[in-house]
Amino acid sequence: MESLEEDLYSAAFRKWEISPSSKTHAYGPEGALRTFENEFGEGEYWSYFRGNLFAINSFRMTFKKNWILRYRCTEHLCVSFYDEIDGVAQKQGAPLSVGAIS
């Protein structure tokens, strides 16, 4: 793998219409901010990539309708923290884990 951004993320960003933004943000000087607004919802996705070693992501997304967002998250460390999941369907009684939300 040459680059996490090119090999894993770029196709997903194009598929979900998440585009680079010049909007002022508070994420710091490194990384890139992308935004989207379409029939599924709206939001922003900030990411910082270090070659093929790791990716750091922060995102704020609001969805207007049900849909499944899937992406390949293998071959590198991926840490996620959900501080609010209103409107997200979670399997009843399941802890928040892989496959528990859709």
CA distance 2 to 66: 34
The pLDDT, as a whole number, for residue 84 is 59
The type of residue at 49 is F
What 8-state DSSP symbol labels residue 20? E
CA distance 71 to 47: 15
**Exposure b/e, 16-28, CB count within 10 A at least 16 = b:** bebeeeeeeeeee
Domains of the chain: total? 1
The pLDDT, as a whole number, for residue 79 is 63
Are 66 and 59 in contact by the 8 Å Cβ rule? The answer is no
pLDDT along the chain (102 residues), means of 10: 83 89 84 91 89 84 74 64 58 57 51
Q: Which residues share a beta bridge with 50? A: 54
In terms of residue numbers, what domain contains 1? 1-102
